[in-house]
A = this chain, B = another copy of it.
């Protein structure tokens, strides 16, 4: 590469503006004060670089943000887990276990009349009783063994058959589960697509509660 005369500063500059010594260099057997064309550009470039480096430095404490985010995520995860668990437990309790919270540990005093449900159960009256109210409504009374999952199974079975319970009463004792209320039967749910008879409905319900 060759340099024209305009590339050389011919004055006796021994110090540049920032106090550093200007360099003497040999070029084509001449020694002169030389100033590269891109000197200022390079200075600006370096300036920008260090600025960016400082900016990066200022972002460095965001490492703590990452840490914080990590612990926060862990917190949220455990929260989600415990909530899910609680919810499931409550669902199970709600649909399948007890009617009133904090009420299970102690057996019933023998001298207390535990409603007719006890009589029904001890007299082995478990089963389904139905009475037609109108075309789509039935009065229903079901007594089954109160075992884990039995209520849920009943509900699911009724749901599949398109039977909907309305304003139902539910009594649970240690051994028996008593359901009484109004049941809505959707039309055309029978295998033959016709209206179900009370007898058929009773049979379906009995099938559900006798399933193991």
Q: List the interface of chain A (C-beta within 8 A of B).
A: 23-26, 31, 66, 69, 72-73, 76-77, 79-80, 83-84, 86-87, 90-91, 94-95, 99-109, 111-112, 114-115, 117, 133-134, 137, 139, 155, 164-174, 179-182, 184
Q: How far is the CB of A159 from chain B (nearest CB, A)?
A: 9
Given contacts A72-B73, A94-B94, A112-B133, contact A105 B166 (CB under 8 A): yes
* Contact indicator A107/B167 (Cβ below 8 Å): yes
Tell me which of B69, B84, B181 contacts A103 (CB under 8 A): B181
* Contact indicator A109/B83 (Cβ below 8 Å): no
Would you call the interface of chain A mostly helix, strand, loop, or mixed? Answer: mixed
Q: How far is the CB of A108 from chain B (nearest CB, A)?
A: 5
Q: Nearest B residue to A66 by beta-carbon distance?
A: B66
Q: How far is the CB of A121 from chain B (nearest CB, A)?
A: 13
